[in-house]
Amino acid sequence: MADLRKDFYLPEEDVQYLDGLGKEWEAIQEENARAVILYGFLMPQPFQPEKINLKIKMPQDYSSGAALDMFFTDTPVTRTDGKGVERLTESAIFDGKKWWQWSRHYPQGTRWRPGINTLATHISYVHHILDQEARGKSWG
């Protein structure tokens, strides 16, 4: 992918994490909406497709401690076992593409911790949610 966009500032810790993944990524701003897009994100079985692009909304005040929440995929993910994917809804167009919102929130008692949580911990949380749901656990 040519000319990857870095339209807004991310803390150096986040940039190092994203660069260390070995995947292409962008930080895109459209008017007041900002997001990090991670390309080629691997989905666990039984989700399909195997690879998607992952979008994380980035609040304007993220650098000063605003929480990250939920995540988005650029395709309507399904399951090979025929079960539905709960709370997966079509979302707004961003960067000229349609995105699907996974309405998953931090459970009670594990809220976002400013100064501790980062983009890396949020993406780790996304992995955790997907792994749990792949095994049949419902997530709030």
Query: What is the residue type of 82?
Result: G
Confidence (pTM): 0.91
Range of the domain at 88: 12-134
Reported as type and span, the H/E element at residue 113 is: none
Is 112 within the bounds of a domain? Answer: yes
Domain annotation covers residue 23: yes
For 55-90, how does the pLDDT look when each residue is reduced to its tens digit (9 = 90+)?
Answer: 999 999 888 778 888 899 999 999 999 888 888 888
CA 9 to chain centre: 18
In a domain, 120, yes or no: yes
Task: Tell me the per-residue pLDDT of 30-50, one tens digit each, with 9 for 90 and over.
Answer: 998 999 999 999 999 999 999
Q: Which tens digits make up the pLDDT trace of 83-138? A: 888 888 888 899 999 999 988 876 666 677 778 889 999 999 999 889 988 888 77
In a domain, 5, yes or no: no
SS3 129: helix
Q: First-to-last CA distance in the chain?
A: 35
Which of these, 124, 122, 135, lies nearest to 44 by C-alpha position?
135
**Structurally, how many domains does the chain consist of?**
1
CA distances from 18 to 38, 45, 65, 85 (A): 8, 23, 19, 27
Closest CA to 56 of 139, 124, 7, 119: 119
Could you give the CA distance from residue 74 to residue 39 in angstroms, rounded to a whole number? 10
